[in-house]
């Protein structure tokens, strides 16, 4: 008797999880074709051509957000929080080489959600550039 009660309770608990769409169900073909979801975050690709490791920041207005560290002679991709560039705004990137006295700040870039920014940090910081795609 207890086995029957336990099995019934287990079925009652598990049935909602097995009948929900997406859990083992075959994908439905959409007659309009596959849907493309637009990227809603800004992507920053940092190409560090400097020998020193750099710490990279994103600045929008008075907000400063640390993207992270990029080791020397390497490339790394970061994604900004959704709040950055939500209504379109100016984004500036800052690079501070670890162990150096001077850093580099990019020109202000007008960005919107889904944009891709490439920040190239050169060995001579004055030649560093930021481009928007």
The string of pLDDT tens digits covering residues 76-133 is 999 999 888 887 889 999 999 999 999 999 999 999 999 999 999 999 999 999 999 8
Domain boundaries, the chain: 43-132
Q: Which residues make beta-bridge pairs with 96?
A: 55
Task: Give pTM, 2 decimals.
Answer: 0.70
Burial class for 63, CB neighbours closer than 10 Å (0-12, 13-18, 19+)? exposed
Please tell me the class of the 43-132 domain.
Answer: mainly beta
Average pLDDT, the chain: 83
Q: Which residues make beta-bridge pairs with 97?
A: 54
């Amino acid at each position: 008797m207890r086995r029957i009660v336990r099995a019934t309770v287990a079925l009652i608990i598990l049935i909602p999880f097995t009948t929900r769409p997406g859990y083992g169900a075959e994908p439905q073909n959409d007659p309009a074709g596959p849907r493309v979801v637009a990227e809603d975050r800004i992507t920053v690709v940092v190409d560090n051509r400097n020998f020193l490791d750099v710490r990279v920041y994103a600045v929008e207005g008075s907000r400063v957000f640390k993207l992270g560290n990029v080791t020397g002679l390497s490339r790394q991709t970061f994604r900004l929080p959704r709040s950055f560039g939500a209504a379109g705004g100016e984004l500036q990137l800052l690079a501070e080489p670890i162990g150096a006295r001077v850093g580099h700040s990019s020109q202000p870039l007008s960005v919107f959600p889904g944009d891709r920014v490439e920040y190239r940090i050169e060995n001579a910081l004055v030649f560093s550039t930021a481009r928007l795609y």
